[in-house]
Structure 1
Amino acid sequence: MLVAAAVCPCPPLLVPEVAVGAAPEMDAVRAACTDALGVLAAARPDLLIVVGPAGPGEGGVFPQGGRGSFKGYGVDLDVRLGAGTQDATAERELPSSLAVGAWLLERTGWADAPVEGVGVEETLTPERCADRGRELGERADRVALLVLGDGSACRTVKAPGYLDERAAPYDAATARALATADLPALLSLDADLARTLKSSGRAPWQILAGAAEGTDLDGTLLYEDAPYGVGYMVATWS
C-alpha cells in the first residue's frame, strides 16, 4: 500500500554542476525537494519506487543500482539509483528524469529502503497510468513513491515551448490537485493538452493517483513557480 509520496520536478538544472551560473536560481526548488524526500524517509517504507517520464523506447523498470549520467549536458557526473552495484556493462542507462531522481536520493543520503525506477513514456493513457499505479502500490506492504515530472513549458515567450495561454491554468489546476491529493483531478488531466504544453509530469502524476486509490493520504504543496517559463511543483502526500 502507498504510505507516502514526494512529487518533484526533474530538470537537469536541478543539478548545480549542470546549472553552473544559474545554480542559485534553483536553490528554492532544491530545498523543497530535500524537504519532500524527508517525508518519504519518515514514512519508513519497505520499498521506494522512483517514477519519471521517459523518451520513446526508454520506458520500463530499472533496478536498484541502475546507472545514470549527465555527460549529455556537458558534465562528467554519474549517479546510481540507490546503493546497488549492478554491472554497468549489462544495464540500460537511466532516463534523464530518473538520473535526476537518483541525484536527489544521493544528495539526501537515502538509505532507508530498497529502490527501483520506472520510466513512463508519454503515450501511456490515463487509464493505463492508473492501472500501473495500482500495480506499484501493491508491490510491498509499505510503498513510497518519488514522482518526477514538470508542468507546462509554455509559461512565457522565452519558455522552451513559447507562450501558450492555457499553460498557467493547466499548472494551477495541477498544483491544486497535488496540494489536496485530488485523485479525480489528476486523472482528468488531458494527455493531448499536456503533450501540447510539453508537460512531462502528466503520466507520472496519474500513476501516483492510481497508486493512492484506497488510501487516505493528505497533500501539501511545498513549491510552485515557473522559472525559465516551466512549471515546477514540489508536493508531499502522507
Structure 2
Amino acid sequence: MFAVDFHAHTRFFHGFPSLGRAFDPLGARLLARTAKYRGLDGVVTTNHDYYREFDLGDESFSLLPGIEVTTTKGHVLVVGPDPPERTPQGELTPEQAVEMAHERGCAAIVAHPFRNSTVREADADFDAIEVNGKGTDPAEWVERLARDRGLPLVGGSDAHYPVEVGRAYTRVETDELTPESVAAAIRDGRVEPRVDRSPSQQVLRRAYKAIHGQKGWLEHPAPEPPGLGMPPGEDQNAPPPREPETRDSGRS
C-alpha cells in the first residue's frame, strides 16, 4: 500500500512560460521534499497541458508522470506511463482526452468535477472521480457522482505551492509504485482517497470556496444533494504519520 498525491503542479505561477519552464525542476524538488516529509511515497505531476520528466536521483520517493488536460468542458487528469508531452488547451473533448489516455496506457480521472467544469456530464469511459484538496466540491456530491457512474474515488491536493501537497492524497493498493501499477490500480478500483480535515485546512477550504465562488466557477447540481453521510477520507486525516525510523528523511 502506498500514499500518493494524484494532482500536483511544479509551476506555482502561470502566464510566464519561459520563466515557468526554468522553475519547473526546482518546483519538482520542492514538491518531492515536502511530500516526503509528510509521509507520502509519491506525487503525480499534473501540470496544465504539458508533461515533463524530472529526475530527483532519489530512489526512496517517486515522481510519477501525469498531465492535467484542459478539455472543451473542463479538466481531466491523465495518470500513467506515457502521458502526452503537450495537449492543445481547450481543444480536445473529454471523450478524446479519455481515448488518448487509454491508448497510452494511462488512467483518466475527472478533476474537481463541480468547479469550473462540466466534464462529469460527458459520455466518456472515465476511470475515477477526484476528491480535490481545495474542497470546493461538496464531498457528498462527489461521492454520489462516483456512485452513479460506478467509479472509484481518488484524492489529489491540486497543489500549486509546495506547502499544499498532501492535503488530499490516495491510498494505492499495489506491490510496487510504478506508473503502470498506479494506472492499473485506478482502473481496478484499488484506490481510496484521504483528506486532511484539520482546522487549518478547513479555513483554507472556506477561502477557496469564497474566491472561486466570486469567479463564478462553482456549480450546483440539482436537485439538492441527499443526506450528508461521511465525506470521502474524513475518517483519517492526511498527511499520514511520518515514520522516521523507516524513512530516509534526507534529500539527494
TM-score band (shorter)?
A: 0.3 to 0.5
Structure scoring higher RCO (CA < 8 A, sep ≥ 6) equals: 1
TM value normalised by structure 2: 0.35
TM value normalised by structure 1: 0.36
